[in-house]
Structure 1
Amino acid sequence: MFIREFKPADALTVNGLALMAFEQFRNAYKDWPGFRAKIAGMSSLADTGELLVAEIDGQIVGAVAYVGPGKPKADFFQREWPIMRMLVVAPDFRGRGIGRALAEACLSLAKRDGARFFALHTSEIMHVALPMYRRMGFEKVSDAPAINGVVYAVYLKRID
């Protein structure tokens, strides 16, 4: 597996990957078509942060956005916290450590940026991602606004 920076030519692949990754949750969101439309634009996160992709044999199988300290982010995050957004892994490639590798890459960027904490928001419906984040040392610090009826919370990790 190889993790690299997103290139504009990756946009359609990353957007399609995000849709595949979230499809399993379609019945959880009240307005799936509206939420799906937002997910389909994952590549636009490169405009406000650093988008990373994971490749295996030249195929993009995962992606995540890193938004550094001081960059614009949702009000429920402290401005100085770097965050990650939309960690996605292709369904056929789950269980291979891709998600963790992408999360660790974001933590490395946060260390590069001199951050003391790193944050994300996720939901209990993320049955694979949430336990992984907890194993990595993330702890719930607050509730976040629901997204289309799905409850979310903010998780924080101290960076040593």
Structure 2
Amino acid sequence: MLRDYRSDDADAIVRVALAAFAQFEHDYSDWPLFTANVAKMPLLAKTGEIIVAENGDQIVGAVAYVGPQAPKPAFFDPSWPIIRMLVVDPSARGKGIGRQLTEECLRRAERDQSPVIALHTTTIMTVALPMYLRMGFEKVHEAPDISGVPYAVYVKSLG
């Protein structure tokens, strides 16, 4: 089940986010800095909408939708809505949760009457990146590296 984030979800989504990224510890040159930034995921609720995925009473995934014109990193067009920090608990993977969270972001971009939605990811995300490509996202340009890991911006046309 998907629902909107509540402030008392903060600890649970940080736990899920850290678990989701743990497999990439050896890819990032500054793992402590990277995980400190991952642990700031609840702050995305200040400029965007965090959506959580629950299985029973347990949060198993989350994503942030940042709407058009909301503050976002400079490598995105400021008018684009974006998907940030899609995370799924490793114990809940393979059940379509990441896709459901992404589709909810697409619905919100359509609600906001945006012609496109964007995200940034990296080739080390060997499950997420192929999913985004299957869903119609296309690479538009490189983004700044994060702790030595190359990232790129992907955009999907809507409607």
* SS of corresponding position for 1:69: coil
Q: TM-score, normalised by structure 2?
A: 0.99
Question: Could you say what the CA RMSD is over the residues aligned between the two structures, in angstroms?
Answer: 0.5
Deviation of 1:41 after TM superposition, in Å, equals 1.6
Partner of 1:116: 115
Give me the whole-angstrom Cα distance separating, in 2, the residues matched to 1:80 and 1:50: 16
- Aligned-partner residue type, residue 28 of structure 1: D
Deviation of 1:130 after TM superposition, in Å, equals 0.1
Where does 1:1-160 land on structure 2 (aligned, <5 Å)? Answer: 2-160=1-159
Q: TM-score, normalised by structure 1?
A: 0.98
* SS of corresponding position for 1:23: helix
Deviation of 1:47 after TM superposition, in Å, equals 1.0
Q: Output one character per residue of 1:101-128: Cα deviation in whole Å (capped at 9) or x when no partner.
A: 0000000000000000000000000000
| Gap runs ≥5 in structure 2 | none
| Gap runs ≥5 in structure 1 | none
Give me the whole-angstrom Cα distance separating, in 1, the residues matched to 2:60 and 2:42: 14
Deviation of 1:155 after TM superposition, in Å, equals 0.2
- Aligned-partner residue type, residue 20 of structure 1: A
Percent sequence identity over matched residues?
Answer: 57
- Aligned-partner residue type, residue 69 of structure 1: P
- Aligned-partner residue type, residue 89 of structure 2: A
Give me the whole-angstrom Cα distance separating, in 2, the residues matched to 1:35 and 1:58: 28
Give me the whole-angstrom Cα distance separating, in 1, the residues matched to 2:91 and 2:82: 26
Number of residue equivalences: 159
Deviation of 1:48 after TM superposition, in Å, equals 1.1
